[in-house]
Amino acid sequence: MTLRAMLKKAMGIHDDALFLMEDDNAVQTAWAPLLRKIAIEELRQGNGVIAKSYRGEFTHVAPALEELKSSQNQYNTYLSAQAKNGAWLNYIELGALAERLGVNLVITPIKNGVQQTPYCPVKQPAELGEITYTVHLYCSNNKHWHVDKNPASTKGDGNCGVNAFAQSLTRLVRQQEKTNIAAVHDETKSTATLISNQEQLAVDDQKRILNTIKKQPSSTQLHQQCLEEKQRISKLSKSEQKQISDDHALAVKLASEPEKRSRLRAK
């Protein structure tokens, strides 16, 4: 299956209109609402590790009914806020989006103009020798997502997370459909990936991204680890289980309060 066909199936679309756009601003404007909707839907009811983790399915082992209701209400409040046009999305929503669309996600933070160590919140499982697809994004000062090192490469209209993701997906499709764009291989030639901004990256940066992906457990492995953690929690005392549930509920509550989200983002 081609990447275009894979994305169309995951996104629930039937025509190629989105993939035929050549103007970068048009791509961001047209794709952003759909990608935001998909990310929120995945967090609400998806089966990915990020979605399940954020819903507390690996930490709420035996919460009291009222505690669970309270956590769910806070969770829904957060998602309702994030579903709105212009709401700044973080790695949780973008990670859920990557899980849903079947791509890797690598993020390179930039702090005060200095590039930091990249990290990989989502790694898709792949058979030996199979080529995967990697969305690589930059995040400047935890305030602005962009597709290339230059922050101005992506519109900063509040939708920058899905804007940059849209740019990355369309680039990946174009790369896959060009016969002269080769995947980046690791030293053993056992793994390979197409990187969304590959043509703009130096060879060392490409290798750094590939090594970051290589070190990350796949989503299948992470899911197994989470199940093992849930089993561990189930053996704790009721008070310890309640503390874990309370901690998760507090995290959701803080995330659902816009003014605290903005303060956390600024740190």
List, for residues 39-51, the tens digit of each pLDDT value: 999 999 998 888 8
Q: Give the torsion sign (CA, 144, 142, 225, 207).
A: positive
Better-predicted residue by pLDDT, 33 or 130: 33
- Average pLDDT rounded to a whole number, residues 126-148: 90
- Average pLDDT rounded to a whole number, residues 174-198: 81
What pLDDT does 41 receive? 95
| Distance in angstroms (rounded) separating the CA atoms of residues 167 and 179 | 20
Q: Which residue has the tokens 């930039």?
A: 110
Q: What are phi and psi of 133, to 5 degrees?
A: -120, 135
Residue 238 has pLDDT above 80, yes or no: yes
What pLDDT does 264 receive? 40
Q: How far is CA 132 from CA 6, 129, 190, in A?
A: 12, 9, 12
Q: Which residue has the tokens 């680890």?
A: 225
Better-predicted residue by pLDDT, 63 or 161: 161
| Distance in angstroms (rounded) separating the CA atoms of residues 28 and 159 | 9
Q: Where exactly are the structural domains of the chain?
A: 3-222
Contact 56, 248 (CB under 8 A): yes
What pLDDT does 60 receive? 59
Q: Which residue has the tokens 């290339």?
A: 148
| Distance in angstroms (rounded) separating the CA atoms of residues 185 and 154 | 28
What pLDDT does 153 receive? 96
List, for residues 57-113, the tens digit of each pLDDT value: 766 555 444 555 555 666 777 888 899 999 999 888 999 999 999 999 999 999 999
* 255-258, Cβ contacts within 8 angstroms, sequence gap of 24 or more: 255/78, 256/74, 256/75, 256/77, 256/78, 256/81, 258/81
